[in-house]
Each structure stands twice: as C-alpha cells, then as structure tokens.
C-alpha cells in the first residue's frame, strides 16, 4: 500500500530552500514512530537534504540515474513493491504528485504557522476521497517552534 507522510503549514507548505521550514522535534519523533521498520521512498532532493540513510528503515530514492550511495527505483518498481508491503512516500512535492492517484493512507501533521516564501507544497488532497480517522492536537514542546495537529486519513 502507498502511504503519504508529511508535515505542512496552514497553507500546505512543506519546504523552503530545500529544507523543512521549522524545528519540530515532536513531529520528527512522530515520523520515526510511524515509519520505523518500514520502507520509505523519496525524491533525490529530499535524499540530498538528509544527513544520510534514516536508520531502521529501507531507504529508496526515485531518480533517473543509478547511485552508489542509496537504492534507486522508478515509479513502476515502487508500485510493484507496494503490492507486497507498505511503502511510505516522504517527499518531496513532485514525488507526492506522482503518487496522488495511488495513495491509500495519509499521515499529515499540520504545523500551526504560515511560512513566507515557501517553495514546496503538499499535494491538494481535498477532493481525493480521504476520510479522517484520527486527529490529535499537540502543544509545542520544549524543542518545537509551533503547536501541531497529527491527522490520519484513509481512502
């Protein structure tokens, strides 16, 4: 199954200048809890923004060129893999758009702020048939910049 997981601001922004535009330790812990032991798929730009492979997960990059530092797959290979196991799409914006018709589950964190000059946005899922099955509001902890809302959707 294809699963999206991302954090966005109140306007759907997920990135600015190649990075997350906030410091949210609680959201990173949530991301780790949801994806640990699973397979994560990302675009090359998302891979380049990370310090390396995320531990405890199979890391796959979608790229048109092979790489020595990470496993690479194309769209069809990821779809085929998703028939055997859950696959978490973790970004960026182009990769979310590529899989928008295939996604069955969505974990979204809404960061309660608006980022000026954001350059990467989550896909619009309003009319995609998702149903909210869980929601939890979390006040900013000592290592968070903003309050947040964890949401879980299925379709």
- The model's pLDDT over 85-123, given as tens digits with 9 standing for 90+, comes to 999 999 999 999 999 999 999 999 999 999 999 999 999
- 2 forms beta bridges with 87, 103
Return the minimum-mean-pLDDT range out of 52-56, 62-66, 107-111. Answer: 62-66
Per-residue pLDDT for 44 more than 90? yes
Measured distance CA(155)–CA(147) in Å, rounded: 27
When the pLDDT of each residue in the chain is averaged and rounded to a whole number, the result is 96
Q: Which domain holds residue 72?
A: 2-154
Residue 97 confidence (pLDDT): 96
For 24, which DSSP code?
B
Q: Which residue is listed with tokens 């028939």?
A: 83
Number of domains forming the structure of the chain: 1
What is the CATH number for 131? 3.40.430.10
Residue 151 in 3-state DSSP?
strand
pTM of the model: 0.95
Residue 21's pLDDT band, with cuts at 50, 70 and 90, is: very high
């Amino acid at each position: 199954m294809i699963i999206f997981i991302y954090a966005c601001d109140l306007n759907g922004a997920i990135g600015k200048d190649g990075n997350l535009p906030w410091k949210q330790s609680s959201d990173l812990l949530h991301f780790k809890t949801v994806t640990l032991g699973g397979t994560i798929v990302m675009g090359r730009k998302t891979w380049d923004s990370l310090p390396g492979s995320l531990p405890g997960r199979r890391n796959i990059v979608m790229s048109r060129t092979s790489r020595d530092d990470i496993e690479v797959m194309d769209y069809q290979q990821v779809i085929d893999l998703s028939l055997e196991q859950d696959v978490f799409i973790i970004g960026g914006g182009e990769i979310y758009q590529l899989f928008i018709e295939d996604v069955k589950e969505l974990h979204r964190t809404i960061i309660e702020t608006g980022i000026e000059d954001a350059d990467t946005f989550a896909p619009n899922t309003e009319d995609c048939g998702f149903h909210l099955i869980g929601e939890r509001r979390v006040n900013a902890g000592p290592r968070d910049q903003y309050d947040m809302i964890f949401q879980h959707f299925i379709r």
